[in-house]
Amino acid sequence: MAKKKELEKKEEIGSAIVVPNKPQRGFEEGIEQKDLILPRATLIQALSPEMTNDELDVKVGQIIHSITKEKLPEEFIPIFKFKNYIKFNPRKKDDPNFIQGIEPGAIIWRTNDSNDPRVVKENVWGDDGQAPTVTEFMNSFSYFTGVAAPVVISFSKTSYKTGKQLLNLAKFTGEDMFSRKYRLSSVIESNQMGTYAVFKVSAAGKVDAETFKLCEHLWKEYSPKSKDIQVHEEGVEETDEPPF
């Protein structure tokens, strides 16, 4: 009886995410990493498509689940980081890099390989200060309490500095990345082009033993395959850069 209760307790670890203690029927053929699409933490901007959806009650600076559109809990635990690179077609058709026949803002190509020749060539600043034509994302594969799947927080452009801050906060604890939890929020910033939201992170203390075990399981399951991780990309361009 005691053993049964122990198994039940393990299944409840982490609220919505369950650490399987037996084979899952229906998955006998196995699942490739490329078949799984992980949700993203979407930071709402003025031009985010969610702002025009009358069924959603969202506002600029709110952080939501990219697939369910529900507001994400504030606390999260970063499990590991990985990078990916996306080249978008410019929003303005008079941009010299605009490609005819492709929608403004659409994805031209993507890769998780930092050694991809396209990344090496295009992820650099021009001699006259021109920004790179490819967007670099620093991603935090994270666990939000009560959310049924890991969520990826993507830091890029105006929020890239926040990604570095998170990395530094976690690194200098001297512990596993998933030993500490953090708060994810946003702040409104402005420049000569307009007003926009950027991610903000702050420390929120140590995780409990059971949550640590859950995060350790996710780290073992996903970290070795990080280069194959597919992230839900709806509205990705609006998520991490000013809406102009």
Instruction: Write the pLDDT tens digit of every residue in 18-69.
Output: 555 567 788 777 667 667 788 999 999 988 889 888 888 899 999 999 999 9
pLDDT tens, position by position, 161-212: 999 999 999 999 999 999 999 999 999 998 877 888 999 999 999 999 999 9
Domain contains 10: no
Query: Average pLDDT for residues 215-226, to the nearest whole number?
Result: 89
**Residue 13 lies inside a defined structural domain of this protein:** no
Summarize the confidence of residues 13-18 as an average pLDDT.
Answer: 44
* 5 has pLDDT over 80: no
> Tell me, what's the pLDDT at 242?
47
- Give the pLDDT confidence of 68-127 residue by residue, as tens digits: 999 999 999 999 999 999 999 988 888 888 999 898 888 899 998 999 999 999 999 888
Cα–Cα distances in Å, from 181 out to 80, 91, 157, 177, 225?
13, 36, 24, 9, 23
Whether residue 165 lies inside any domain: the answer is yes
21 in any annotated domain:
no
H-run or E-run covering 81: strand 75-88
- 226 inside domain: yes
Q: What is the pLDDT of residue 230?
A: 85
25 falls within a domain: no
pLDDT at 12: 39
CB of 143 closer than 8 Å to CB of 150: yes
The answer to whether residue 108 sits within a structural domain is yes
Average pLDDT over residues 207-218: 94
108-114, long-range: CB < 8 A, 24+ apart: 110/84, 110/85, 110/86, 110/233, 111/84, 111/85, 112/82, 112/83, 112/84, 112/85, 112/226, 112/227, 112/228, 112/229, 113/85, 113/227, 114/83, 114/85
What range does the domain containing 197 cover? 34-240
> Residue 239 above 60 pLDDT?
no
Q: Report the pLDDT value the prediction gives residue 22, as an integer from 0 to 100.
A: 67
Phi-psi region of 58 (alpha: psi -120 to 50; beta: other; left: phi over 0): beta
Answer yes or no: is pLDDT of 8 > 60: no
pLDDT of residue 25: 81
Residue 202 lies in a domain: yes
Instruction: Tell me the pLDDT band of 17, cut-offs 50, 70 and 90.
Output: low
- Phi, psi for residue 4 in degrees, rounded to 5: -65, -45
pLDDT at 14 over 80: no
Number of domains comprising the chain: 1
Model's pTM, two decimal places?
0.81
Q: Confidence band (pLDDT; 50, 70, 90) for 1?
A: very low
pLDDT single digits (tens) 63-81: 999 999 999 999 999 999 9
